[in-house]
Amino acid sequence: MEALKLTFQQTKRRLWKSLLIYGLTGIIMLMTLAGAIAMKEYVDSLYATLDKLQEFNIKYIKVRTAIDDIEKSLVRVKAMLPHDSSGLSDKEHMLIALDDLKAKAGSSEITVANIEDKGADLQLSVVIRSVLKDYTSFVNFAGYLQSLKFPFFGITGIRIQRSDDQVTSATSFELKGILKFPKATFDTQAEPTKKIPGKL
């Protein structure tokens, strides 16, 4: 009887020991699984961060390239502007161009507004009215206006109308446009700034 009791106690002890081992093994497996899941999430997050950094770097390079292209274009445009050593201001250049236009227009009526500063350039609204003697002269005059470079002249509207007077039957025209003079605000010798991607 005592031998049976001893055997039962030993079996019970082995069972508890086995349960303890299984329990510890299960806990270790759960911890390992949780660690693996956390590691996977961390790796995925790291890859996502690297992708975003790479995307940002590509966009930064594109932006820098675009800025360099703009700066190069500004340098080329500046080089195309006429070099003036007379010391005249931009507004004085506008007024001189207006005088030349009046001389070219002859007896035409010319109405102008105030010179406006639009930031990148100075603008002067011009309205020219005159009798249309022949279309060839009118076309040549319009071509002259379009050929102006510094300042530029942009035609915004042309209206040709015949007089209601049946005796004279005169034809007149009204030409509207804007005289523009670009302001030189940057140095022709300036070269586009070179920067290393990723550094400000």
DSSP assignment of 130-199: EE---HHHHHHHHHHHHH-TTTEEEEEEEEEEE-S-TTT--EEEEEEEEEEEE---S-TTPPPPP--TT-
pLDDT over 60 (residue 111): yes
> Residue 181 to residues 11, 135, 186: CA-CA distances in angstroms?
105, 29, 15
Cα of 153 vs its chain's centroid, Å: 25
Please tell me the distance from the alpha carbon of residue 153 to that of residue 179, in angstroms, as a whole number.
5
Where do the domains of the chain lie?
A: 1-80, 90-182
Tokens 């070099």 correspond to 83
pLDDT band at 197 (very low <50, low <70, confident <90, very high): very low
162 touches 156 (CB < 8 A):
no
pLDDT tens by residue, 47-91: 787 777 777 778 778 887 888 788 777 666 666 655 554 566 777
Q: What percentage of the chain has pLDDT greater than the value 70?
A: 77
* CATH number belonging to domain 90-182: 3.30.70.60
pLDDT over 60 (residue 196): no
Please tell me the distance from the alpha carbon of residue 128 to that of residue 108, in angstroms, as a whole number.
7
Rounded to two decimals, the pTM is 0.45
Most confident of 4-18, 22-36, 75-89, 180-194: 22-36
* pLDDT recorded at residue 184: 58
Please tell me the distance from the alpha carbon of residue 133 to that of residue 160, in angstroms, as a whole number.
12
* Rounded average pLDDT over 1-24: 73
